[in-house]
Structure 1
């Protein structure tokens, strides 16, 4: 029974209910800033004070050790305060003692205590210890090596096939990584072996396969509904253009097709696969001549492209093969899936034995051993579990949304009753579940959230804490508005309904401070990248906050000026950290990046690792030369070159050093530097044989004053901390079961290979007055007056989608179908289905990350994105408005946070998408909780970024500061002369540095063309390369193809074209194109772009006939040659490597010919003769053809002739 809430208490009704609810399992859905920690502490206190429960009879589970310490401290402080107020209360006196035995900890800590007390059940040595990360990584690698070695010895045919399926020709790294991933997934389950054994069942049993067909059909329908919405919008847009029957009939045909298709309960996939889109009739002349009609026509085309995009997605991905074929493929894959599971099971058992032999446990062992103690052989709670159920009056779990299935089983074993009469109290917020990469399972929370409080079910008690005591109204209303249109059960995994919304509860004044959404329109003429421009704009935003904003103190009701420490920059990752650091340094803004990345990239750590690697094995040129060039030994490039020249053909630079030392003509000055270097190397190698790694590192520090040197540089405090951190990691390593320099270096290499990082050492305290940059993950649970949420246009990481093997905790393992004969991968039914589920879960978690970022802000929130083109923003605005939510498929396919946020705002006419346009909802009746206050601004980068002169000024200030320091530092003449020589040194081969070591033939052609045009080639080349690195946005990919894309597509068709002496009929050619689509070599929607008439003309040409009858034919032939070989110039050390790809080479009557296909055409001026056209075409590609001819002649050692084949004009002999 919940006591009546007194009028004077500060708790809200929902909080009061959360504190006192009992008699059932209780789930508290605590929104961001709703005071869940205070509620949890108060509940513990009231269970002690009101219910008379001893504190050590409560099990309180937190997510981190820090949270556990803070929770314990808060409870202890409240107990002491209550004891002071009631000194005669013996119960309270007892609690002051029992608090030290209280079970307030992470679940891992609880499991460890359980194992220590019941080790006999597990038959393990009670003196076990916890493996360090170092030990765990190395031991697992060692185990996988052993397991794979045994399977290679057996050479099971399925293993061989599996290796060919997943690995590459070079190594089995992909298969090993897959086994590691499977290991991680399996141990996140209560029964890892059972989970593995079940993986192949859907590949064998038809009744299980229907589930995956249902998933596939669901997404087919989703895409087709999106296509229908788009074609309806296209139709409505064309109504504004006018009455043009051909166009109306064309659109109407598509409308009727989709209406018929979607009216059926089961989609006719064959109808979709065979449906021909056709081509839009030409734009009417009347439309071209009328700007208003032309604009409406372009809007129509934008929606039509969306229709095509969605329909082609279905055609190319989902309906290429019928259901029966998909199911037959699964039977073929079943043995490989089973073998993968067997491999992983062998690793689990071998790893367990290896850990037991060393008497070590890792964190996953904590959970699984605890479960073994708490469960009997039938999987029911054991007698020991019954003791714990009796002991704990209540189990309280914080951050329940981040629990996994193993942890859920442990908790379920020691809780009392079922949901309707249990003693489990859970608190969390599924909208902040952002740890799926740690195998957290938000579905556990969601299932209970949906089930609790249902009148027709015997379940638990759900309470929603929705009042936010952190943020201003403007932050909350904007967050609500965005998520009201973004998140639902379909994409987001939970409905963002009235219960999920944030309601204002903080005691701020009524000042109106709208959220700022700034879209930086990138200056494409600047040499700065978009990310660099964004970084400088962020720095400017910080300056603006400091100059214009104040922080409100609710306790005093007064304002104070904003400080650096009030500001945080949140991004999805640290990928942009270096650029932001540079921008802030230029603007003289103190910044601390709380990075968990970049440790191995720090100069001081790279130096130390080069030193250690060279001592371990000096036959590693990169590390050896790097060490010699370092500040420790200070060899110059000239000295290293002289050493190498003496014996240029040595395999290793260390051999060159030995030969140089034996050379009588060696430079005495270089020999004098080499002697101490080699002596050091021998001395340290001997030392490493008899001392632990940390002592070797300490010796290097002391012998070469490494810590003193790096401490004196800019950022010395952090550099010193990084070096001390390396020493501490070596100490941890020596405390493991591994020893020696080789194993330590191997461990570091494993960490780098796995993408793991230690992170730079933290040297900033919470009160230091600096701006902080951190990831959204790091910011969870924190709050800041001013939040700058940037990097919105950086794409979601979808690298794990579409791989040969995909995993999902609930859906199992999806293995792509591998066609051994053709060497091609096809998505299988299960891999397609799991990919779709994983993409939905990925987007859902990315939405939750956005939610966490937005809800960190107390005073004001700044969103920053970039755009290179205004028309890209207009395309985002062309979203289909089907209801109040952004269409599910638009959310499902979102590329980045910016696309989601901007598309939502673009739905409403009142945004106007204009610069400095105040945003208001178009629904005036919206509840205040969801009516946003947001200012959307499009900002021209040219108006706000520092000019080149400004940047030069920043550098000038730095030089002036350095000069002032040098002037105050006495230097001897010899040292001053050496410094000046180094500063004034000009590298004599600067031209070779600016020339790429490897160049393509096309690049050389552009270079020569530019030189002939008297153009600055370097600038042209940089610009072109820069443009080429950017992929076309998704929403443009299916629109009108660029000339380059058409060329690539035609080359792809020609690459696989069969050459038959009898020729190819039109039907055979069409069948060939269809086979390219079926084999996923080209996409279905690309077929319309292929110039079939031009390919037919080639097939009917004499050149095709000659190739078909030739002795040898090679397509897409790659080559790599030295530049001097094809240019017939002297062999110099600075010559480039030329690489290229020749479209086709054939051998006829003992003579070789090459063919280069061209899809472009020249504008033929009136009166131009065929001969003049041919000369112009040949001249255009003369340089490129000469390189091809000379390269082939160099390789084949015989004369070669070639042809330029223009699809527009035919063949030309070169």
Structure 2
């Protein structure tokens, strides 16, 4: 457990940003390619927004000639807000600040090439429902269907990231068959090394056939993934010279945030847009590649150097958030990462990873604290129970000593199951806590709601009906209810719980209420979201419940999905069954409670 020992935060006066020399070089750069390596807390967003403002205000660049792309809606929103604040009173219409996928999707829309977008889980469900159409041979025997689909989607994503379609992959397999390339193992099974080349080729042929089939199915239904957005946009720009010329006019100055998350396909689009002027300005940190599993990595920086030769390199190395001990501890971990540039190949980019410099420690006059920054503590404990006890004790002690709030503390863990003992310890100490991104489908309120939905759709859904019958408002004796269920399990000829309930005191009221809900749904012609609202009202659910709010928002979004056809509650329940099988989760929305935040390291 690593633990920074904090000091009280004094009240600050309004902060005036003064760029250091490296930041100034980046902000004042105008033409030609530039790559900015910016570690955490080094002011990269400020550099980007200041550069956009300077191009418009001082360099005579029209907002209509600027394209700034990033990788999340939140980042794009923040950048837009900060640019607007910088340019208050200046006309900025036509300025494009958007995500990479949104830009590509708008490109497709303008050319009438848009399609229904399936996210990762929806594409999994789409294929799971049509698994027989893939005509699997090797892979249906070798693994569970769910694992095969996970691996297939990962394979297809990586192909899209590299602009490899089914035709190119089929060509690759043909070269394997002609012995022009060495045969690679394509299975994770333990006996992979014992497979003959012919067996491996058989698997490769099947992958090629499945890849072709999936792409055909999606094209026929006018569906695609986020990866298809990028690949199709690249194809448009490559084949439509008129469109490319027009897009270059709207992107004479390109800025890319979070460049470490770029893959080959995205870099090729940037190269197309930049044209001969090559006014591209990319900012990123090779040690923060959160989409590395999606094909992004520090390789993006090598791709930049290759596609934009002669680019200038600027390194932002002053961190404005953390103290020196924290930065050195972080560097001790990330220094083990692969090198960003290969020394023998990247001589034009003389970059070597080094610890960030603490601007806070350099400018100590801005902070009221001791002369030496507090160290990072490493506490090694012998048992999980001791760790949880220590965490609770330390949080209580620090809160008393520092006079801070509960929400100033966070506990990170590797996976959600690791949090349980921590949660128990905090509860016993009466320390308020909130769990970030917790799956609401595991919560009683959501389970009760979906049980009502299942019982409304099908009276033969015994599990759902049993859960509804156990609701306190029906006042059914639990022992009698369980006895009825035991009788059902012994009697294979029994028609089901719906036939047994009328024989139990209060059971008839359950069936009557469910029928009234069905009638109201039919009368109001309610779709899934409307049906849930009826159920919430009729069964007395707490409308202010955060888990229920998350479910309602999820269902509202599901009704808008390209994969959704009727929006009826039966279709929703079928979707939810596949969604769970795919490992899907409905995340609890963040809440600004004064509570210790528990989250996985990945979420953090």
SS in 1 for 2:597: strand
- 1:733 is aligned to 2:558: yes
CA distance in 2, matches of 1:200, 1:539: 57
1:501 pairs, out of 336, 351, 355, with 355
Alignment of structure 1 residues 815-1214 onto 2, 5 Å: none
Contact 1:487/1:496, CA 8 A, preserved across alignment: no
Please state how far the C-alpha of 1:79 moved relative to its aligned partner.
1.5
Task: Give the equivalent residue in structure 1 for 2:378.
Answer: 517
- 1:59 is aligned to 2:67: yes
Number of aligned residues: 569
Alignment of structure 1 residues 387-786 onto 2, 5 Å: 387-417=246-276, 422-448=278-304, 458-484=309-335, 486-489=336-339, 498-506=352-360, 507-508=363-364, 509=369, 510-522=371-383, 530=384, 532-549=385-402, 561-595=403-437, 597-644=438-485, 649-651=490-492, 655=496, 657-658=498-499, 661=502, 670=504, 672-688=505-521, 690-707=525-542, 720-735=545-560, 736-762=564-590, 764-765=591-592, 768-779=593-604
Please state how far the C-alpha of 1:724 moved relative to its aligned partner.
2.3
Please state how far the C-alpha of 1:34 moved relative to its aligned partner.
0.9
- 1:103 is aligned to 2:86: no
Please state how far the C-alpha of 1:647 moved relative to its aligned partner.
5.8
CA distance in 1, matches of 2:330, 2:488: 68
- 1:346 is aligned to 2:213: yes
User: Which runs of 5 or more residues in structure 2 are unaligned?
Assistant: 1-15
Contact 2:529/2:556, CA 8 A, preserved across alignment: yes
CA distance in 2, matches of 1:694, 1:383: 44
Please state how far the C-alpha of 1:141 moved relative to its aligned partner.
3.4
SS in 2 for 1:774: strand
Superposition CA RMSD, Å: 3.5
CA distance in 1, matches of 2:468, 2:129: 32
Contact 2:118/2:226, CA 8 A, preserved across alignment: no
Distance verdict in 2 for CA 1:516–1:407, change over 3 Å: same
Distance verdict in 2 for CA 1:682–1:512, change over 3 Å: closer
SS in 1 for 2:585: coil
Please state how far the C-alpha of 1:598 moved relative to its aligned partner.
2.0
Please state how far the C-alpha of 1:685 moved relative to its aligned partner.
4.0
CA distance in 1, matches of 2:219, 2:232: 11
Contact 1:199/1:337, CA 8 A, preserved across alignment: no
Task: Give the equivalent residue in structure 2 for 1:141.
Answer: 125
Alignment of structure 1 residues 154-169 onto 2, 5 Å: 159-164=136-141, 166-167=142-143
Please state how far the C-alpha of 1:603 moved relative to its aligned partner.
0.6
Please state how far the C-alpha of 1:102 moved relative to its aligned partner.
1.2
CA distance in 1, matches of 2:84, 2:341: 43
Contact 1:143/1:351, CA 8 A, preserved across alignment: no
CA distance in 2, matches of 1:685, 1:29: 60
Task: Give the equivalent residue in structure 1 for 2:5.
Answer: none
Please state how far the C-alpha of 1:748 moved relative to its aligned partner.
1.4
Please state how far the C-alpha of 1:203 moved relative to its aligned partner.
4.4
CA distance in 2, matches of 1:644, 1:631: 18
Alignment of structure 1 residues 351-366 onto 2, 5 Å: 351-354=218-221, 356=222, 363-366=226-229
1:209 pairs, out of 182, 188, 194, with 182
Please state how far the C-alpha of 1:628 moved relative to its aligned partner.
1.9
CA distance in 1, matches of 2:578, 2:310: 47
- 1:183 is aligned to 2:156: yes
Q: When the two structures are superposed, what TM-score results if normalisation uses the length of structure 1?
A: 0.44
1:337 pairs, out of 204, 209, 214, with 204
Greater relative contact order, per chain length (Cα 8 Å cut-off, separation 6+): 2
Q: When the two structures are superposed, what TM-score results if normalisation uses the length of structure 2?
A: 0.84
CA distance in 2, matches of 1:487, 1:617: 54
Please state how far the C-alpha of 1:414 moved relative to its aligned partner.
0.9
CA distance in 1, matches of 2:599, 2:488: 50
CA distance in 1, matches of 2:25, 2:214: 49
Please state how far the C-alpha of 1:675 moved relative to its aligned partner.
1.2
Distance verdict in 2 for CA 1:761–1:31, change over 3 Å: closer
CA distance in 2, matches of 1:138, 1:72: 30
Please state how far the C-alpha of 1:202 moved relative to its aligned partner.
7.1
CA distance in 2, matches of 1:62, 1:569: 29
Contact 2:230/2:265, CA 8 A, preserved across alignment: yes
CA distance in 1, matches of 2:102, 2:386: 46
Contact 2:39/2:285, CA 8 A, preserved across alignment: yes
Distance verdict in 2 for CA 1:10–1:406, change over 3 Å: same
Task: Give the equivalent residue in structure 2 for 1:18.
Answer: 26
Alignment of structure 1 residues 804-819 onto 2, 5 Å: none
Distance verdict in 2 for CA 1:78–1:648, change over 3 Å: closer
User: Which runs of 5 or more residues in structure 1 are unaligned?
Assistant: 1-7, 84-95, 153-158, 214-316, 523-529, 550-560, 709-716, 780-1214
Task: Give the equivalent residue in structure 2 for 1:993.
Answer: none
Contact 2:137/2:206, CA 8 A, preserved across alignment: no
SS in 2 for 1:61: strand
Contact 2:124/2:582, CA 8 A, preserved across alignment: no
CA distance in 1, matches of 2:359, 2:333: 20
Distance verdict in 2 for CA 1:405–1:653, change over 3 Å: farther
Please state how far the C-alpha of 1:653 moved relative to its aligned partner.
7.0
Contact 1:618/1:654, CA 8 A, preserved across alignment: no
CA distance in 1, matches of 2:233, 2:310: 27
Deviates more, 1:486-495 or 1:753-762: 486-495
Please state how far the C-alpha of 1:490 moved relative to its aligned partner.
11
